[in-house]
Amino acid sequence: MSSPDNHPLPAATTAAIATGANSVKAVRRARGYSIEDLAETCGLAISEITSIESGDDADPVKLRRIASALQVSETILIGS
């Protein structure tokens, strides 16, 4: 698997996250994934992804799986 550092995010995505956009949704869109694509890639249900993107779920285990699937550092989705 590639290192997250090999796949930097567009500046507009990092700016959106910095101003409060949902990080999972912003990164998912920047990577060109649909919710269905992401669910299949990380092994979570579509409803779990939807719940995370709406802010109703912040399970670190799920966020780590998503970070791995989207090839970004966990800190982008989980925080530092």
Domain assignment present for residue 78? The answer is yes
Tens of pLDDT, residue by residue over 21-76, are 999 999 999 999 999 999 999 999 999 999 999 999 999 999 999 999 999 999 99
- Which are the contacts of 68, defined by CB distance < 8 A and separation ≥ 6? 1, 42
Supply the range of the domain harboring residue 80: 34-80
pTM of the predicted protein model: 0.87
Q: How many domains does the chain have?
A: 1
Neighbours of 15 (CB within 10 A): 12
Asked if residue 72 belongs to a domain, the reply is yes
Please check whether residue 41 lies inside any domain of the structure: yes
Do the domain assignments include residue 38? Answer: yes
